Structure 1
Amino acid sequence: ACAPFRRLSLCNRNLVKMDTNNYSKAKPDLLAEVCLAAKLEGESIKTHYPQYQAQYPGSASTTCTVLARSFADIGDIVRGRDLYLGNRKKNQEETEREKLEDNLKRISGKYMEDWMIKKSNYDDSEGNFYQLREDWWEANRKEVWKALTCDDDKKLRDASYFRATCIDRNERVESQATKRCRCDKDEGAKDGDRVPAYFDYVP
């Protein structure tokens, strides 16, 4: 199987360089590092993907769609679901992807110790901590999505998906996400930065 360049770039950025020896620092830094990786990924896509679209106008994917796929990649990596482990560089024992997975396991293990939940449903004798990582992602995915679709440069001002992706929970109708690849806030709802409903299956 081949991995898209966007996935490889995620593994070569700040995430793989996290200092997991200093656990008191690594734990709070995890969300910040994941969000930083997402922000850098979003900036790269906003810069380069329009050039790709201009060169290959028949592509059905939009910038928002590519951002959503990268969001899925980040979620897979964080939760330990990503099957691509990459190739080893010369004189290296591990790939960048394997180093990142080891870092995430170490940080998850420290969460286990501090929360004193070794005998709970998070117990993992193999040290993968998949359920703990799943719950961490569910709790923080909104912040990662905000970072990925950060639009300080206004490049996502008119961006949309290839089809309707939002659902108005009050009127029960589908609509396009036309504001920074995000859905409008439902009347009375607290969250105005929802990940489009169509991509809810994507982490």
Structure 2
Amino acid sequence: DIVRGKDLFLGHQQRKRKLEENLRKIFEKIYEELKNGKTNGEIEARYKDDDKKNFYRLREDWWTANRSTVWKAMTCSEELRGDAYFHATCSDGKGICSQASKYCRCNGDQPGKDNPNTDPPTYFDYVPQYLR
């Protein structure tokens, strides 16, 4: 939500402005690097409507391209091991659920394999924050 510019951020307004400015600078650098590549004007054409230079469309594109990697980093992080945020998500088909283990995936799935139930939960991207 923060990356995509959709975060409610109900906290302090000064912190919100600082966070937004930092994100703007980060995505400006990403934009400049993309623009300086061999894109034949495609990048400029895609993001030309962002007149305030907030890079919301680039943020959305970045999230689409990187969400799976971010999800793996979050779910397999040593720092987050044992964190109570993640709940039982694997089912044995008999109604008994357990929390994913072994590479943080169900049924021993390893990163790089395309097994079911290993992708980030896409529906959370579009559920309003206040309903999560």
Which TM bucket (shorter chain)? 0.5 to 0.7
Asked if residue 79 in structure 1 is aligned to residue 7 in structure 2, the reply is no
Q: Secondary structure at the match of 2:76?
A: coil
Name the structure 2 match of 1:99: 18
Residue in structure 2 matching 1:145, options 67, 71, 74: 71
Higher RCO, Cα 8 Å, sep 6+: 1
For the aligned residue pairs, the C-alpha RMSD in angstroms reads 3.4
The letter of the residue matching 1:109 is: E
> What CA distance in whole angstroms lies between the structure 2 residues aligned with 1:127 and 1:101?
12
Quick check: 1:160–1:176 contact (8 Å CA) kept in 2? yes
Asked if residue 155 in structure 1 is aligned to residue 82 in structure 2, the reply is yes
> What CA distance in whole angstroms lies between the structure 2 residues aligned with 1:86 and 1:100?
11
- Give the TM-score normalised by structure 2: 0.59
- Give the TM-score normalised by structure 1: 0.41
Structure 2 residues without counterparts, runs of 5 or longer: 36-41, 126-132
Q: How many residues align?
A: 105
Quick check: 1:105–1:127 contact (8 Å CA) kept in 2? yes
What pairs with 1:8-27 in structure 2 (closer than 5 Å)? none
Label 1:84 to 1:190 Cα distance change in 2 as closer, same or farther (>3 A): same
Label 1:133 to 1:141 Cα distance change in 2 as closer, same or farther (>3 A): same
Label 1:135 to 1:183 Cα distance change in 2 as closer, same or farther (>3 A): farther
Asked if residue 129 in structure 1 is aligned to residue 52 in structure 2, the reply is no
Q: Equivalent pairs: percent with the same residue?
A: 42
Name the structure 2 match of 1:195: 119
Instruction: Give, in angstroms, the shift of residue 151 of structure 1.
Output: 5.8
Quick check: 1:182–1:195 contact (8 Å CA) kept in 2? no
> What CA distance in whole angstroms lies between the structure 2 residues aligned with 1:202 and 1:84?
17
**Structure number with higher helix proportion:** 1
Instruction: Give, in angstroms, the shift of residue 150 of structure 1.
Output: 2.4
Quick check: 1:183–1:195 contact (8 Å CA) kept in 2? no
Quick check: 1:177–1:183 contact (8 Å CA) kept in 2? no
Quick check: 1:142–1:195 contact (8 Å CA) kept in 2? yes
> What CA distance in whole angstroms lies between the structure 1 residues aligned with 2:98 and 2:61?
26
Residue in structure 1 matching 2:100, options 167, 179, 192: 179
Residue in structure 2 matching 1:114, options 24, 33, 37: 33
**CA offsets 1:63-87 (integer angstroms, 9 cap, x no match):** xxxxxxxxxxxxx001111122522
Q: Secondary structure at the match of 1:78?
A: coil
**CA offsets 1:93-147 (integer angstroms, 9 cap, x no match):** x22x321211111111122222225532222111111111111112222222122
